[in-house]
Structure 1
């Protein structure tokens, strides 16, 4: 069982909750350029870093999860570390915040809500001066389908500088982020009933075969299998 809704306290953030059934298969978590603040009934408070490829999340029977998914580029301002240090990782919050994480766990209680986690993230974000404006602009441009060259020119950075800043803000360079955001556009179109051939054109792929290769590489399964699930 999985459900999600927008978070009111951070623009673009998502609150989510899930509970694993007795025979729940692994959950395929697709890459999205985001960092999450999580709570697990088994593992406590965790941070999920940005994935380059789909992550198969395995839960114990009855394990409950709560989380806030932060928009691309916002996580470093909340957690206080560059995103590439957390790439493809799930780490206990106390590995980043030390004793402050234990104090937070006591304050949140034995079963925190996603709303409470979002409030924590919002407080940290405000204390750090808000999200990096560059992250917001780069993510918006690439999500809209802008090229790497056009994005670099728009934000006033050279290619190398953009790559370096993107690593710290998103966990990977702009080319990888652009591929991941293009995948999200394609899936949104496909879930809306658009055929895969048209999805490929509208999302910016060379053709349907290109779409299939990219989805298989990033998600681990072809588009038809992914959409069926």
Structure 2
């Protein structure tokens, strides 16, 4: 009786091991804790100094220009920060790592582009502009290409899921001037952006650019560094 029980127990263990071994591997795992990023953490005092420098050297210029082009005389308050919740950042990292793995490339860096929403209620494609006139930023992951880091999007080209450089022009042949660790296959180098490119039209292209954060002028009661009206 004990022998039968032991055999059943071992059988269940084997079944469970087979089940878990067949599961898809996760595409994103938390990195081991290794302390703060070397040379990338600044003190609160330095952050305050940099914040104040922007307030003195950039905010008045932005405000003066925006006020000068407003027909109704309304006053413009420049954006001082943008924020994402932590869950969104984690989801974004998992997303771009998953897409990069499908295209068989490595993500090199994340670029944070300063930008501006148009003074309009809608974008040309009809999407609503959440923050007309407001300063913003968007995030572009990069890959290694021709000895440089370049921003990319993803596109199915001749049945091959391909990382496509955003900046550039022309169409290169498969495998031409590529190196290991750089994308293989057809590469369409689109200017940032060429209006006829599939990425700008949303035709079969997959974007990995993050935007639409919560952007905020200084709150009336001040932000972390004392900004406010």
TM-score with structure 2 length normalisation? 0.21
Which structure features the higher share of helix residues? 1
Q: Which has the larger radius of gyration?
A: 2
- With CA pairs under 8 Å and 6+ residues apart, which has the higher RCO, 1 or 2? 1
TM-score with structure 1 length normalisation? 0.21
